Amino acid sequence: MNVPTEHFLLLAAVLFCTGVLGFLVRRNVIVVLASVELILNAANLTFLAASRHHTALGEANLHGPIFALFVILVAAAEAAVGLALVIALYRLKQSVRLDAASELKG
């Protein structure tokens, strides 16, 4: 497949910006967590595109896939802790909206 590396990077950039926008404008905690997953997937795509580029240049490169593996692992841990926090927030507030938790606002 002869897709140039820039197109991978552009797809990753679009995904990242979509995730950032969702992280900023949504109030639902679950959608915010889903946006974080989008951001992490964009980072993974960038790692893999760089690894593929270096392999095409002739130097076999496996650091990209290994970093992507670690990113997936951290994303799994983050989703588990985040969703446990969602459950705790819902138990406290009967809501999953971010503006329901404003005790630290002062």
Partner 1 sequence: MAELLFYVLAAGTVAAGVGVIACRNPLFSVLSLLGAFFCLATIYLLAGFPFLAATQLLVYAGAIMVLFLFVIMLLNLGDEEQYAERPPFGKRGLAIAGASAGVLLLIAVFSVGFGSVSASDGDSPAVTSFPDESIDDVQSIAELLFSRYMLPFEASSLLLLATMIAVILLAKRQRGSGAEGAGWPWKKGVEQ
Site for partner 1, residues 41 to 80, rule: CB under 8 A: 41, 44-45, 48-49, 51-53, 55-57, 60-63, 65-66, 68-70, 72-77, 79-80
How many residues bind partner 1 (CB under 8 A)? The answer is 78
Burial annotation 41-72 (CB, 10 A radius, 16+ → b, else e)? bbbbbbbbbbbbbbeeeeeebeebeebbeeee
Residue 38 interacting with partner 1 (CB under 8 A) = yes
List binders of partner 1 among 75-94 (CB under 8 A): 75-77, 79-81, 83-88, 90-94
| Residue ranges in 3-22 that form contacts with partner 1 under rule CB under 8 A | 3-11, 13-22
Q: Residue written as tokens 């076999």?
A: 60
Distance in Å, CB of 21 to partner 1, minimum: 4
36 binds partner 1, rule: CB under 8 A: no
Give residue 102's Cα distance to chain centre: 25
Closest separation in Å from C-beta 105 to partner 1 = 13
- 105 is a site residue for partner 1 (CB under 8 A): no
Would you say 28 and 97 are in contact if contact means Cβ atoms under 8 Å apart? Answer: yes
Supply 13's token pair.
């950039």
Q: Quickly count: other Cβ atoms within 10 Å of residue 35's Cβ.
A: 19
